[in-house]
């Protein structure tokens, strides 16, 4: 079973090499999608041992994830793991993510920050926002309430599932979109606990409370766009 | 009143331009009919403002001019929303192009 990690990266020159090196022991290969960075993200990712594909212009995390997923499929991946470039996602959780896929129990596995493993350094404001996002996802997007983490970007899927999930949101709304597509399809899915480390750097670059409104707007527009 | 003459002239110009574009196959005939109805309705309201007031009373709005303003705001909102959707659609096409370019050199393992 060939496992390939997909890592979207934008202006991550300072961290991407370390992230790639920490992920590679748990997978058979890593695809870093340099999303139009103006720094040496692509070079550093290649130095870490990743296959690098490059967006000539910045298209957003969702777009980069899809590019990486398609790249991984072309490289013959049986299982694809989506993981952030900023080192927030602990690669030690990868075996937990892919275990239900390798036994054939599931097609898609979502990492959750709310299933027992305490996220390290998560601010209270983020916790409150995610709780609100969970309710929003349930009522406005149609994601089942039993999904505990509405915005986890840490997930794994089999190759057939990756081909079936036609996510089109280029920017931040892709998390909710993927959850909706998977939970409304015939794909078998599950959440597993994952460990996430927040640092001041990752919080500075990560989503802000007002991004919630932007995500809601993107989802609304997406509902009317072909 | 002078404003009525100016507005009627504008509506006539819009009407003529609409049908010229339809003849040039720039817009469909069905679109031209739709736009023509809008110009005719606007002309009626310009020449007979009490028509708008009667219509406004039907909706529970006091003055005809208020109804025109409310309808305009709603119309503009729809127009802006449509532009947003068009923009999103173009963004997706751009992403598809960028993706195709990015994956150009990614080959299956046996190649």
Taking the Cβ of residue A75 and every Cβ of chain B, the question of whether any pair is shorter than 8 Å is answered with: yes
Question: How many alpha carbons fall within 13 Å on the CB side of residue B55?
Answer: 15
- Residue A207: the pLDDT is 67
- The number of folded domains in chain A is 1
- Residue A212: the pLDDT is 79
Nearest Cα residue in chain A from B98: A55
**Proportion of chain A in helix, strand, coil states, percent, rounded to 5:** 45, 20, 40
- How buried is residue A93: exposed, middle or buried, by Cβ count under 10 Å (0-12/13-18/19+)? buried
- How buried is residue A173: exposed, middle or buried, by Cβ count under 10 Å (0-12/13-18/19+)? buried
More confident residue, B63 or A48: A48
Taking the Cβ of residue A226 and every Cβ of chain B, the question of whether any pair is shorter than 8 Å is answered with: yes
Nearest Cα residue in chain B from A218: B88
- Name chain B contacts of A67, Cβ cutoff 8 Å: 98-99, 102-103
The DSSP 8-state label assigned to residue A157 in this structure reads E
| Three-state SS at B87 | helix
- What ipTM does this complex have? 0.89
**Residue B77 token pair:** 């909102």
Taken as a whole, chain A contains a residue count of 226
Nearest Cα residue in chain A from B81: A221
Taking the Cβ of residue B100 and every Cβ of chain A, the question of whether any pair is shorter than 8 Å is answered with: no
- Residue A17: the pLDDT is 96
Cβ contact B99–A66 (<8 Å)? yes
Min distance A61 CA to chain B CA atoms (Å): 11
| CA–CA gap between residue A54 and residue A20 (Å, rounded) | 16
- Name chain A contacts of B95, Cβ cutoff 8 Å: 59-60, 63, 170
> Which tens digit of pLDDT belongs to each residue from B11-44?
999 999 999 999 999 999 999 999 999 999 999 9
More confident residue, B102 or A123: B102
Could you list the pLDDT tens digit for every one of the 226 residues in chain A? Answer: 999 999 999 999 999 999 999 999 999 999 999 999 999 999 999 999 999 999 999 999 999 999 999 999 999 999 999 999 998 899 999 999 999 999 999 999 999 998 877 777 788 878 888 888 888 888 888 889 899 998 889 999 999 999 999 999 999 899 999 999 999 999 999 999 998 888 777 667 666 667 778 888 888 898 898 7
- Residue B111: the pLDDT is 55
- Residue B73: the pLDDT is 96
- Name chain A contacts of B97, Cβ cutoff 8 Å: none
| CA–CA gap between residue A195 and residue A92 (Å, rounded) | 8
Min distance B84 CA to chain A CA atoms (Å): 7
Q: Is the pLDDT of residue B90 over 70?
A: yes
> CA A75 from chain center: how many Å?
19
Domain residues for the domain of A169 are 3-224
The CA radius of gyration of chain B, in Å to the nearest whole number, is: 23
Q: Which residues pair with A34 in a beta bridge?
A: A9, A54
CB B59 within 8 A of CB B53: no
3-state secondary structure chain B: CHHHHHHHHHHHHHHHHHHHHHHCCCCCHHHHHHHHHHHHHHHHHHHCHHHHHHHHHHHCCCCHHHHHHHHHHHHHHHHHHHHHHHHHHHHHHHHHHHHHHHCCCCCCCCC
The CA radius of gyration of chain A, in Å to the nearest whole number, is: 16
Top residue of B82, B91, B99 to mutate, by most chain A CBs within 10 Å, is: B99
Taking the Cβ of residue A53 and every Cβ of chain B, the question of whether any pair is shorter than 8 Å is answered with: yes
Residue A111 region, left (φ>0) first, then alpha (ψ -120 to 50), else beta?
beta
**Residue A223 token pair:** 């509902």
CB A33 within 8 A of CB A67: yes
Question: What is the domain-level CATH number for residue A203?
Answer: 3.90.550.10
- Residue A206: the pLDDT is 65
- Residue B75: the pLDDT is 93
Q: Which residues pair with A108 in a beta bridge?
A: A157, A189
Kindly state the average pLDDT of the residues B48-74: 88
| Three-state SS at A11 | coil
| CA–CA gap between residue A31 and residue A48 (Å, rounded) | 11
Cβ contact A75–B99 (<8 Å)? no
């Amino acid at each position: 079973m060939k496992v390939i990690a997909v890592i979207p990266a934008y202006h991550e020159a300072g961290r991407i090499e370390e992230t790639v090196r920490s992920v590679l022991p748990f997978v058979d290969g890593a695809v870093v999608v340099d999303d139009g960075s103006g720094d040496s993200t692509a070079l550093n990712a290649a130095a870490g041992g990743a296959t690098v594909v490059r967006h000539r212009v910045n298209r957003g995390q969702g777009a980069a994830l899809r590019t990486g997923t398609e790249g991984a499929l072309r490289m013959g991946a049986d299982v694809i793991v989506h993981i952030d470039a900023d080192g927030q996602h602990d690669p030690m959780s990868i075996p937990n993510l892919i275990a239900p896929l390798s036994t054939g129990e599931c097609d898609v596995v979502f990492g959750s920050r709310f299933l027992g493993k305490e996220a390290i350094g998560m601010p209270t404001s983020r916790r409150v926002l995610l709780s609100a996002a969970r309710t929003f996802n349930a009522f406005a997007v149609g994601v089942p309430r039993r999904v505990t983490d509405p915005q986890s970007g840490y997930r794994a899927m089999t190759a057939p599932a990756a081909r079936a999930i036609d996510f089109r949101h280029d920017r931040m709304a892709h998390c909710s979109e993927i959850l909706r597509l998977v939970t409304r399809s015939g794909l078998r899915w599950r959440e597993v606990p994952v460990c996430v480390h927040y640092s001041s750097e990752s919080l500075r670059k990560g989503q802000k409370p007002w991004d919630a409104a932007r995500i809601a707007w993107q989802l609304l527009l997406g509902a009317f766009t072909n | 009143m002078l404003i009525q003459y100016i507005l009627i002239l504008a509506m006539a110009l819009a009407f003529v331009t609409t049908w010229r574009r339809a003849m040039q196959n720039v817009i469909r005939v069905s679109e031209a009919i739709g736009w023509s109805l809008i110009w005719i309705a606007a002309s009626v309201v310009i020449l007979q403002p009490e028509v708008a007031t009667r219509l406004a009373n039907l909706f529970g709005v006091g003055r005809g001019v208020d109804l025109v303003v409310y309808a305009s705001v709603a119309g503009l909102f729809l127009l802006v929303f449509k532009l947003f959707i068009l923009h999103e659609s173009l963004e997706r096409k751009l992403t598809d192009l960028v993706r195709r370019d990015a994956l150009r050199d990614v080959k299956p393992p046996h190649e």
